[in-house]
Amino acid sequence: MSGASDKARFYLEQSVPELKEYEKKKIFSKDEITAITRKRSDFEHKLNARGAQPSDFARYAEYEMNLDLLRRKRVKRLGIKTPAYTGQRRIFFILERATRKFHGDLGLWIQYIEYARQQKSHKKLSQIFTDVLRLHPTNADLWIYAAKYALDDHADMTLARSYMQRGLRFCKSSKILWIQYAKLEMIYIAKMAARRRILGLDRTREETSAPEPSIDDPNADMIRLPEITGEDINPTVGKDEEVDQVALQNLNATPALSGAIPMAIFDAAMKQFNNDDALGYDFYDMVAQFEDTPCLRKVLEHIVETLLATSPNSYRTRISHIKVPTAGINISSPEFPRALGTSLSRLKEYGQDRDLAQEILKWLQPLAEKEELDPALRKVITATVRSSERTLQAQSS
C-alpha cells in the first residue's frame, strides 16, 4: 500500500507549480486550490491502489476536463495572459495511463480519441489511432472510425482509403466494413460534386465507358481500385485562372466521379460473400441515399445487374430492380411519372409474395404521404399500397 501512496504523492507533486501559478494569478482561490488538491489526491490513490477500475480513470479525466474548462473561462473573463500550465497535458497523461493499464477497454480509447479530436491535437491523434488499431486490429468499428476521421477532419481520402484497406486485411468477414468503405467513397464523390457546383464547374456529363473494375486475386490483401492521379482531383487551371475545359472533361470521366471505385468495392464484397443477395441489397440501400450524386444511377444499375445475374428469384433482387428506375428522381420532376410507370410494370410482371409486398410498402407508403406528390400519382401509389396490404393479409391468414 505504501508503494501506491508513494506513486500518488509523486504524481500530485508534479502539479504543485501549476497550482501555485493559478493562485498567483488569482484564477482559483486558496480554498478552491485546496479542494482541487484533495480531489486529485483521492483520484490518484484510487488509480494507484490495487483493484483500480477503468471507470476511475474515466471519472478522473472527466473531472480534469471540467476543471480545465472552468480555468479557460476565468482566464478569458479576467483577461489574463494564457498561463504556462494548462489542463490539456494532464488530461492526456491520465488518458495515456488509462489506456496503457486497460488497453482492452474500448471506452477509454474512445474517450482518449474524442478528447484529442476536440483539442485538435492531430499529431497526438495519429499516434493514438496507430496504438489502438495495433491492439485491436479485428475491430471493424475502429477502422471505420479512423477512416471517417481522416476524411471529415482532414479531407484526406488517401489516408481514409488506407485505413479501410488495412481494415479489410483483418476484418474481411465484416459486411459492415465493406459497406462503410463504399459509403466513404460515395461521400467523397458527393463532396466533390457539391464543390464543383459551388465553383460553377458543373457541366452536362458525357457518359464515357470507364474500365470495368476487376479483382485479379480474391485472396489479395488489397482491393485493386481504378487509378486516380492528382490531375483527376485538381484539374489544371490556366494562367488567367479560367477553367481548362479539357481538364474538366477529363475529370468527368475519372473513376473519382464515375462511381468505378464503389463498384469495385461492391464486386469484391460480393465475391467475398459468395454473391449474398442480402449484402447486395444493403449496398443498394446505402448508395440510394446519395440522391444528388452524379454517378448514382450508374452504381445502382451495376448493383441491380449483378443481383439479377446471381440471385434473380430473390425478393431483394426484385425490389431493387423495381425501385431503380425512380432512383435519384424528384417526385415533382416531369421524369418521375414515367419512371414510376416502369417500376410498377416490373412489379406487375413479378407479382407479389409476402416479402416483396413488405418491401413495396416500405418504399411506397412514405411517397404517398408527401404533399408535393401529384394527385394522380398519389391515387396510383395508394392503389398499389392497398394491393400490397391485401397480399400480406391473404398470406397471413
Q: What does the angle CA 360 – CA 361 – CA 365 come to, to the nearest 5 degrees?
A: 120
367-394: per-residue pLDDT in tens? 999 989 999 999 999 999 999 999 888 8
123: amino acid identity, one letter: K
297-315: per-residue pLDDT in tens? 999 999 999 999 999 999 9
Residue 42, SS3? helix
Whether the Cβ atoms of residue 182 and residue 161 lie closer than 8 Å to each other:
no
| Of 142, 25, 32, nearest in space to 84 by CA | 25
229-249: per-residue pLDDT in tens? 544 444 444 444 444 555 555
Give yes or no for residue 217 having a pLDDT over 70: no
Residue 197 is predicted with a pLDDT of 77
Residue 249 is predicted with a pLDDT of 54
| Of 146, 125, 149, 150, nearest in space to 137 by CA | 146
pTM across the whole model: 0.80
Instruction: Give every CB contact of residue 46 below 8 A, 6+ residues apart in sequence.
Output: 52, 56, 60
134-166: per-residue pLDDT in tens? 999 999 999 999 999 999 988 899 999 999 999
Percent of the chain at pLDDT exceeding 70: 84
Instruction: Give every CB contact of residue 6 below 8 A, 6+ residues apart in sequence.
Output: none
C-alpha cell at 187: 461521400
Q: What whole-number distance in Å separates Cα of residue 217 and Cα of residue 366? A: 43
SS3 of the chain: helix, strand, coil, percent, to 5:
70, 0, 30
Residue-by-residue DSSP string for 230-295: HHHHS--B-TTS-B-HHHHHHHHHSHHHHSHHHHHHHHHHHHHTTS-HHHHHHHHHHHHT-TT-TT
Residue 244 is predicted with a pLDDT of 53
Q: Is 275 exposed, middle or buried (0-12, 13-18, 19+ CB in 10 A)?
A: middle
